[in-house]
Structure 1
Amino acid sequence: MEKEKIILFDLDGTLIDSEEAIYESCCVACEKNALKIPALEEVQETIGHTLSDMFLHFGASREKLGICIEVYRHHYKGICLEKTKMLPKATDSILLANEFAYLGVVTTKTARFSRAILEHLGILGYFQTIVGIEDVEFPKPHQEPVLKAIARMGASLSNAFMIGDTILDIQSAISAGISPIGVKTGYGNIQAMQAICENIFDDSLEAVGFIKSV
């Protein structure tokens, strides 16, 4: 049966919890590049942003960005499967969404890491496309990642939704002309999201239930 809706999901803070892996990898990269080790709360505030923005925030020079990211990704590759888990109700949200919508992922992780994580968690097969940082010139909050996902799926912008936990997800959806849906399971500023997004839910399952009803 043909499905009428498209749902794009963010990953970190929306479907998965990889905070431990992100924090550990960030600390290793900072230590090896003589940067101050950030507190967990500081790293949480950067989740969803690009690694370039994260390390600039922690004091890296532009000349050292490349090596910081290289060290981060090398360490993350070795621990991300072990130290990533599904958020509560996230698996149920995917199963429900799959009943009535085609699904995709739009993330600032690399698509390579994202596929490996989703395969490890047993849910990769539910997604028609995964757009990662290496697939775009301009990441979220730009519209490009969302539009690329929609184009890859051969879909139109009508009846398309983006679920995410930060204002970057909301802004990307709005810029692309699809419906933004916020969730409170991640790292975003809820008040900032509420200022530009009417529909914000406690978790991805509630969000998918709302999409099914409209």
Structure 2
Amino acid sequence: MFSGIRAVLFDLDGTLIDSAPDLGGAADAMRTLRGLPSLPLDRYRPMAGAGARGMLGVAFGITPDHADFAALREEFFQGYERRMTSSTAVFEGVPQLVAEIVGRGLNWGVVTNKSMRFTGPLTQAMPLFATAGAIVGGDSTPFSKPHPEPLLEAARRLELAPADCLYVGDDERDMAAGRAAGMPTVAATYGYLGGTPDIDHWQPDARISSPLELLLLLK
């Protein structure tokens, strides 16, 4: 149970929204364009939180140090941009969670490593985010998670001390960023998790297996 919390900050992909169908679909379309067989969504889903790096790793088995990575990444970005709201949906329970947070007089916001090229249009297209007090993307500051600066920027925008904010995410870097920012952290174990995680190693202050469980942790 957390007390004294005045705002809840969330990661985006895998925590508030299920964007894996569109992320995976964009990468899989690149495979089929090249005559490769389609892969099932279940192959892409665990790595959806890693964005282009995760999707291209699944689709083509390449890493960012590969000579073709930059070109493939931009191709992926363009493909994702064309479809990023086609099949993306808010996780079950998230609208009720956000409504209850607002109803309790708390602020809320988003801190994601997704660049504002995608985060801006995506959040503007989804009614859920109309009440968000801060939306910080991966390029909103000079750093991205696990660096604490994006979380600190969100706290500044909300005019709150970091310790007044709770951070919820589905990746180890989310917990690391929260700790470094001086915020209590909650691991969303219903999210993508990055493959085969050891959540105990992440050292979250708490964990939830569904969005609405978060309400039980907020006094």
Is the shorter-chain TM-score for this pair beyond 0.5, marking a shared fold?
yes
Confirm or deny that 1:80 pairs with 2:84: yes
Letter of the aligned partner of 2:138 in structure 1? I
Whole-Å separation in 1 of the counterparts to 2:39 and 2:196: 23
- 1:194 partner letter: D
State how far apart, in whole Å, the 2-side matches of 1:88 and 1:6 are. 21
Structure 1: give runs of 5+ residues left out of the alignment. none
* Residues 141, 47 of structure 1: alpha-carbon distance in 2 compared, 3 angstrom cutoff: farther
Residue of structure 1 equivalent to 2:126: 121
Distance 2:91 2:82 in 1: 21
Alignment of 1:122-161 (within 5 A): 122-161=127-166
| CA-to-aligned-CA distance 1:42-89 (integer Å, 9 cap, x gap) | 432322225246546731544323222211121111111121111100
Q: Does 1:93 align with 2:97?
A: yes
Q: How large is the RMSD of aligned CA atoms in angstroms?
A: 2.7
Asked if 1:59 is matched to 2:58, the reply is: no
SS in 2 for 1:63: coil
Deviation, structure 1 residue 34: 9.2
**Secondary structure at the counterpart of residue 162 of structure 2:** coil
Decide whether aligned partners of structure 1 residues 39 and 171 sit closer, same or farther in structure 2, where only a CA change above 3 A counts: farther
Aligned partners of 1:89 and 1:204 also within 8 Å: yes
Aligned residues: 210
User: Between the two proteins, what is the percent identity of the paired residues?
Assistant: 22
Aligned CA distance change for structure 1 residues 33 and 127 (closer, same or farther; 3 Å):
farther
Q: Please, what TM-score do these two structures have when normalized by structure 2? A: 0.82
Indicate how the Cα distance of structure 1 residues 172 and 180 shifts in structure 2: closer, same or farther if over 3 A, else same: same
* TM-score, structure 1 normalization: 0.84
Instruction: Note if contact 1:111-1:133 (Cα within 8 Å) is conserved in structure 2.
Output: yes
Given that 1:162 and 1:180 are in contact with CA atoms closer than 8 Å, whether structure 2 keeps it comes out as yes
- CA contact 2:21–2:41 (8 Å) conserved in 1: no
Partner residue in 1 for 2:26? 25
Q: 1:179 aligns with which of 176, 179, 184?
A: 184
Equivalent position of 1:5 in the other structure: 6
2:210 matches 1:197 = no
* Matched residue type, 2:175: I
Task: Give, in whole Å, the separation in 2 of the partners of 1:35 and 1:163.
Answer: 37
Distance in structure 2 (CA, Å) of the matches to 1:30 and 1:131: 31
The one-letter code of the counterpart of 1:155 is: L
Deviation, 1:190, is: 8.3
The change in CA–CA distance for 1:143 and 1:106 in structure 2 (over 3 A counts) is same
Q: Which runs of 5+ in 2 are unaligned?
A: none
User: Which letter maps to 1:115?
Assistant: G
Hey, what does 1:71 align to over in structure 2? 75
Give, in whole Å, the separation in 1 of the partners of 2:83 and 2:54. 22
